[in-house]
Amino acid sequence: MVAIDVPCQDCGAPVGLDDPACRACGELLSPDLRLALDERLEAASPDLRELRERVRSARYLLLVLAIAYAGVALIYLVVDGDTAAAPSFFVETYGHFAFAAVFLGLFVMARWLAGAAIALALGLFLLLQLLDFVGNPAGLFASFLGLLGVGRLTMKLGMLVLLCRAAVAAFRAHRLRESLVPNRALSL
């Protein structure tokens, strides 16, 4: 347990992490004060800081995914432009643009909610791989035949490992924070 407090914005009495409001005057903590308290908690716990750093830096994986999906969509547009009338072309191209937009949104969201954004991105990425496989099971085995296919598989696997590690770090940071702070603060 770490005892951490900041002065109440109203009366100056110490307000701790476990206090939903100031005990002296009843004033609710402002979001800025909550953030200040959380930063103090991080400063007091090197383990928490290290885990949070890992989660924060992992948010760039979401940007990489957004760029990758946008890149694939552009390749579809440029290379398959002559078959643009095929229905699957629209699904593939605009589907990839849509996923790029979603990953970009998660990247932005991760500034405030890194753990949740990474968990959502991991879930979506897994789902997309599963859909890919269900839609074309032979495709997975065919990708072992070419260097490009093996490269793509390796990149996807690498992304999966990095996302999983980030999600685990986010979960551990959450658990550690809970062990440092009594539950009352979390019920807010």
Applying CB under 5 A, the residues found at the interface with Zn ion are: 8, 10-11, 13, 22, 24-25, 27
Q: Which is nearer to Zn ion, 30 or 88 (CB)?
A: 30
Q: Are 11 and 24 in contact (CB under 8 A)?
A: yes
CB of 188 to Zn ion, least distance (A): 16
> Backbone phi, then psi, for 167, in 5-degree steps?
-65, -40
CA–CA dist 125, 107 (Å, integer): 14
Q: 176: which 2 tokens?
A: 């550690």
Nearest to Zn ion of 8, 114 (CB atom): 8
Closest approach of Zn ion to the CB of residue 5, in Å: 11
Of the two residues 6 and 74, which places its CB atom closer to Zn ion in the complex? 6
Q: How far apart are CB 37 and Zn ion at their closest, in Å?
A: 14
Q: Which helix (H) or strand (E) holds 30?
A: none
Q: Which is nearer to Zn ion, 111 or 184 (CB)?
A: 184
- Whether the CA torsion 46, 47, 51, 54 is positive or negative: it is positive
Tell me the closest approach of the beta carbon of residue 24 to Zn ion, in angstroms. Answer: 5
User: Are the CB atoms for 61 and 162 separated by under 8 Å?
Assistant: yes
